[in-house]
């Protein structure tokens, strides 16, 4: 997968999370988890764009680690939303799988970047 495709996929991940949060019932728990996951998933996309402007290999790795952390945080909040929103489980599972795929790609990229 090339960098442009990954840029599109990270943006789509943030969009899909945003659309999910619109569907959720309005209560304190969903509101708090939604706020968190919106921030972390949009941070994935924003920080991946920053990765593409890295000034050095070390800068690239540091920025990519932020993407990894934000993806992992997004996955946690998807797991929590899954537990409390049984009516939306299929949608959450689909987005979770998308996040897992992105995380695998990011980790593989980090591992190969550290070897060079």
Distance CA 45, CA 40 (A): 9
Q: For residue 116, what pLDDT band results from cuts at 50, 70 and 90?
A: low
Q: How many domains does the chain have?
A: 1
Closest CA to 25 of 89, 93, 85, 91: 85
User: What does the pLDDT look like over 42-99, one tens digit per residue?
Assistant: 999 999 999 999 999 999 999 999 999 999 999 999 999 999 999 999 999 999 999 9
Q: Is 0.85 surpassed by the pTM of this model?
A: yes
Helix runs in 24-88, H state only:
28-51, 57-84
Asked if residues 110 and 64 have their Cβ atoms less than 8 Å apart, the reply is yes
Asked if residues 3 and 52 have their Cβ atoms less than 8 Å apart, the reply is yes
Return the pLDDT at 114.
78
User: What does the pLDDT look like over 1-46, one tens digit per residue?
Assistant: 799 999 999 999 999 999 999 999 999 999 999 999 999 999 999 9
Look-up of token digits 């988890």:
33
Structure token pair of residue 111: 């591992």
Taking residues 93-115, what's their average pLDDT? Answer: 95
* Domain span holding position 81: 3-115
Return the pLDDT at 115.
76
- Supply the CATH number for residue 33's domain: 1.20.1440.60
């Amino acid at each position: 997968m090339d960098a442009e495709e990954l840029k599109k996929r990270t943006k789509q991940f943030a969009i899909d999370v945003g659309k999910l949060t619109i569907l959720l019932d309005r209560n304190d728990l969903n509101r708090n988890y939604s706020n968190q996951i919106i921030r972390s998933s949009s941070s994935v996309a924003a920080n991946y764009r920053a990765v593409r402007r890295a000034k050095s290999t070390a800068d690239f790795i540091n920025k990519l680690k932020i993407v990894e952390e934000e993806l992992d945080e997004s996955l946690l909040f998807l797991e929590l939303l899954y537990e409390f929103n049984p009516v939306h489980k299929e949608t959450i599972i689909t987005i979770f799988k998308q996040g897992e795929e992105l995380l695998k790609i990011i980790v593989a990229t980090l591992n190969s970047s550290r070897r060079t």
